[in-house]
Amino acid sequence: MASQMGDPLAAHAAARPDKAALLFEQRTITFAELDERANRYAAAMRRLGVGAGDRLTGISYNSVEGQEAAHGARRIGAVGVPINHHLRPAEVAYIVNDSGANVVPASPDFLAVLDQARPQ
């Protein structure tokens, strides 16, 4: 999806596919795995209509999935706007509204917060 020249992850995945890119809790994700996961995320966002210049927010704990989302968003030219998982629904609503995001990926742990923020 992304050229290796402008994408350090793709370059590392090509040069060192089996080297650890992320060590998180008890998981090791290689550059090749992270590259593939970022591509899948980018493809999923494209299917939702997200493209270059669009904003998307995300709320989750620190995670491997957060890294793949950041790389995937960048690959399609979207601007990622992370939301701190400690924020209250009104604060989440403010960030979503202010960013202009129309897609808000979230881990299941935060669906209740997003449901409470939705009316705002």
The per-residue pLDDT for 5 is 56
DSSP string for residues in the chain:
---STT-HHHHHHHH-TTSEEEEETTEEEEHHHHHHHHHHHHHHHHHTT--TT-EEEEE-SS-HHHHHHHHHHHHTT-EEEEE-TT--HHHHHHHHHHHT-SB--B-GGGHHHHHHHTT-
pLDDT at 106: 86
Q: What is the pLDDT of residue 63?
A: 87
pLDDT digits (tens, 9 = 90+) for 25-62: 999 999 999 999 999 999 999 999 999 999 999 898 88
